[in-house]
Amino acid sequence: MTIVPAGSFGWLALHELRLAFRSRATRGAARWIGYLLLAGWLVIGCLTGWALRHTPIPVPPEAMIGVLAVSVLGLTFMTAQAMIGSQRTLYERGDLPLLLSAPIPGRSVLLAKLLGIAATIALTYAALLLPIVLPVAILGHPRLLGLVALLIALALVAAALGLALTLAIARLVGPRAARTVGQVVAAVLGGALFLVTQLLPHDEGRTGTFAALFDRLRAARIGTSGISALPGHAALGDPFAILVVLGVGVAAFAAAGATLERAFLSGFLDGSATVSRSRPSGRASGRLFHTGLTRTVFAKEWTLLVRDPALAFQIVLRLIYLVPLFLGLVGGRHALPIPAALAFASVLITSQLVGSFAWLTVSAEDAPDLLSVAPVARAQVDRAKLLAAFAMAAPFALLFPIAIGVQTLAGAAITLVMTVLGGGAAGYIELKLGKPGKRGAFNKRRSGSIVAGILSLLVALVFGGGAAGLVFLVSGGIAVP
Amino acid sequence: MTTSALRIRGLAKSFDKPVIEGLDLDIAAGELYALLGPNGAGKTTTLRMVAGLAAPDAGSIEIFGIDTQRDPLGAKAITAWLPDEAMLYDKLTPLEYLAFVAGLWRMDPAHAAAEADRLLQWLDLWEQRDTRCEGFSRGMKQKVALAGALIHDPRLLILDEPLTGLDATMARLVKDALRAQVDAGKTVIVTTHILEVAERMADRIGIIAGGRLLAEGTLQDLRDRAGTAGMTLEDTFIRLTSPASVAAPVAP
């Protein structure tokens, strides 16, 4: 921190990089598990590098297309991550008032913040990539260092795009809705490409949608020639391609700094403003007061969920990641009949949803002390919360048994029972093993309790498998053409 | 005979090191009692144990004769706890928050609704009753939390640093609210760093340091014991909590 003058852009950038590094750090057992995994990954990288040190690495067209596909996929994930980072910077991080009240140009603050976001993104992927790439590159294939340049370029572009999108959303929908809409857009962006690949038509006899996608790209010469081949060439060490991708990254970064300063400052000021409006409803207060603990807890949990649509959307959006599993069950040569597959999906989806909602209601309680000082047994409150979580997942839990009921009523009944059991077990696991956290940290909830995550999955598989098997038996293996 | 609102005997609690050691405390019903002490003295830990938020390692706590360990729900039913950081939900409105608190204390809905309306008007929150708390200032949040603490008409009200961060108007409002509770026969215990509040409002003051009660009584009692006649509570407090006094506490 002493090499560069205090208060300069470089000094501020180093400060942001330090924060980015520290934000990746974990504590306790998770830290040591992280170190252990990283060390293991590095050992695999070193062994791979040693094994390949005298072996030329072939570069088929598929590799070039693969780099392009991974770059595009990575860029969407990174942009979603950058949007979340931008929202935190503008609306949550406490140091922006300090920085903007200091005698430092606003543009320096913006660029430093942008660099911090880019560094956070790059570090996420570097932990996966570098332990393998660096040993292989150092031990005999230095051209692979181009992957590092590609990663940096992608992170810079994503940071610029993420901030621009966040500010555009704030301009379009206003500061009050900007956070919610921004989170929804980020979630959709994160899952969009994945969903698109699932919706592509499958070729006869092919099980992998990515394989079909590769065939299409190869036929159109996308990724192997022209501009679309630049990521591939850069990743494989072509100096010109490296210069171009890095140039694009730096240009996007600089352009964001040059054009977004005013929007950034006004976005920060709008975000700091009071976000609630005073709107006395004029209705009688009595409508809100209920008899009985369960109704009271229900009302509170539902109100909190409805008032956080971004979070509710995030939970439901996670179901997208279950689509390939379902397609695998109903497609291919060893496909399950539709009712059995639906029974499995019903349990899997409901247990996932109940687990997520139970985390929200039980572990992400905003005022745990209030419940502790209230004259109610904790178990009673927890039961009411679990019931609320179940009710939140109920629309999805009922959907599949109804669909199965069209073909087999017994199958529908079995599915309903197994779904309730699976969902109940998932909620109970959350109740007993869930670690407290803030509602906004929904995506990180599983990092608090790995055991709960594994058990929830086991429950879904056991009850889902049971449901599928029983429905298969009662429906006599009905297959739908 | 004076009814005892709070009776603590031999209370002990350790975390990494002992925080409370053999604390005895008696607070009479209808009293406004100020618990003072330097940072880390054990004030909040003591009151959290009284409120049922932490379990004592040893000793007993009785609230109006109810043993908090034998009948925790019975004790909680007549107690309210107001910490320095308001226990609120940002996405709920004050009215919704009060409805939730009333439900937890199992109040009759009609009575609770009327009481909520009265408190919201009294605390000057009526216009904001349907506004989510997320945009409220610290003082506004503290007022909503105070309404939540009062809605179930507790016999014992415990407040941890209730005036921290409040402006003069808000602070006056809170002080008036506390005085009104005492006038209505309720018992109020406050911890505060603002000695002027204790000096002007408290019926009795207790000074705690190193997990022990060093001295207690009226302001005049404390001055007499510390030998600070004619001096302020601040002078008395500093004298009583000096390392020498902590090592050899003044006998009550």
Identity of residue A140: G
Sign of the CA dihedral with A464 first, then A470, A474, and A476 last = positive
How many C-alpha atoms does A138 have within 13 Å on its Cβ side?
Answer: 10
CA B113, CA B98: separation in Å to the nearest integer?
8
**A295 contacts in chain B (CB < 8 Å):** 103
Partner-chain contact A375 B134, CB within 8 Å = no
The pLDDT value recorded for residue A199 is 58
The pLDDT value recorded for residue A475 is 78
Identity of residue A356: S
Q: How many CB atoms lie within 10 A of CB A53?
A: 13
- Residues 83 through 122 of chain B touching chain A, CB cutoff 8 Å: 83, 87-92, 95-96, 99-110, 112-113, 116-117
Partner-chain contact B109 A304, CB within 8 Å = no
Identify the band that residue A274 occupies on the pLDDT scale cut at 50, 70 and 90. Answer: very low
CA A250, CA A235: separation in Å to the nearest integer?
17
**A371 contacts in chain B (CB < 8 Å):** 104
Q: Which residue of A has its CA nearest to B48?
A: A373
Nearest to B89 among A291, A295, A304 (CB): A304
Task: Inform me whether the C-beta atom of residue A290 falls under 8 Å from chain B C-beta atoms.
Answer: yes
CA distance A411 to chain B (A): 41
- Residues 257 through 276 of chain A touching chain B, CB cutoff 8 Å: 274-276
Q: Which of A83-92, A271-280, A331-340 has the lowest mean pLDDT?
A: A271-280
Distances from the Cα of B166 to the Cαs of A10, A18, A63, A217, in angstroms?
A: 40, 35, 64, 64
Identify the band that residue A200 occupies on the pLDDT scale cut at 50, 70 and 90. Answer: low
Partner-chain contact A303 B76, CB within 8 Å = no
- Residues 157 through 196 of chain B touching chain A, CB cutoff 8 Å: none
Q: Which of A174, A175, A158, A16 has the alpha carbon at shortest distance from A83?
A: A158
3-state SS track over A218-248: HHCCECCEHHHHHHHHHHCCCHHHHHHHHHH
pLDDT (tens digit per residue) in B84-108 = 888 888 888 999 999 999 998 989 9
A14-18, A171-175, A189-193, A435-439: which has the highest mean pLDDT?
Answer: A14-18
CA A188, CA A318: separation in Å to the nearest integer?
10
**B131 contacts in chain A (CB < 8 Å):** 276-279
pLDDT (tens digit per residue) in A174-189 = 766 777 777 777 767 7
Q: Which residue of A has its CA nearest to B47?
A: A373
ipTM above 0.85, yes or no: no
pLDDT (tens digit per residue) in B194-203 = 777 788 889 9
pLDDT (tens digit per residue) in B115-134 = 999 999 988 899 999 998 88
- Residues 2 through 61 of chain A touching chain B, CB cutoff 8 Å: none
State mean pLDDT over A99-124: 85
pLDDT (tens digit per residue) in A429-462 = 888 887 777 776 666 665 556 777 788 888 888 9
Mean pLDDT of chain A: 81
Q: Would you say residue A281 has pLDDT above 80?
A: no
CA distance A377 to chain B (A): 7
pLDDT more than 90, % of chain A: 16
Nearest to B103 among A279, A290, A372 (CB): A290
Q: How many CB atoms lie within 10 A of CB A17?
A: 17
The pLDDT value recorded for residue A328 is 65
The pLDDT value recorded for residue B68 is 93
Nearest to B113 among A274, A285, A296 (CB): A285
CA A178, CA A160: separation in Å to the nearest integer?
18
- Residues 52 through 71 of chain B touching chain A, CB cutoff 8 Å: 52-53
**A385 contacts in chain B (CB < 8 Å):** none
Q: Which of A460, A246, A232 has the alpha carbon at shortest distance from A352?
A: A460
More confident residue, A178 or A382: A382
Task: Inform me whether the C-beta atom of residue A451 falls under 8 Å from chain B C-beta atoms.
Answer: no
Greatest distance between any 2 Cα atoms in chain A: 81
CA A417, CA A343: separation in Å to the nearest integer?
10
Partner-chain contact A307 B131, CB within 8 Å = no
Partner-chain contact B89 A277, CB within 8 Å = no
H or E segment and range at residue A366: none
Q: Determine contact, residues B92/B132, Cβ cutoff 8 Å.
A: yes
State mean pLDDT over A342-363: 88
- Residues 360 through 379 of chain A touching chain B, CB cutoff 8 Å: 366-367, 369-377
pLDDT (tens digit per residue) in B221-242 = 888 887 777 777 788 888 877 7
Q: Would you say residue A221 has pLDDT above 80?
A: no
**A297 contacts in chain B (CB < 8 Å):** 103
Rg (CA), chain B: 18
Partner-chain contact A369 B81, CB within 8 Å = yes
Q: Would you say residue A27 has pLDDT above 70?
A: no
Global confidence as pTM: 0.70
**Burial profile B175-187: b = 16 or more Cβ within 10 angstroms, e = fewer:** bebbeebbeeebb
Partner-chain contact A290 B99, CB within 8 Å = yes
Identify the band that residue A93 occupies on the pLDDT scale cut at 50, 70 and 90. Answer: low
Partner-chain contact B130 A304, CB within 8 Å = no
Identify the band that residue A222 occupies on the pLDDT scale cut at 50, 70 and 90. Answer: confident
CA A91, CA A110: separation in Å to the nearest integer?
14
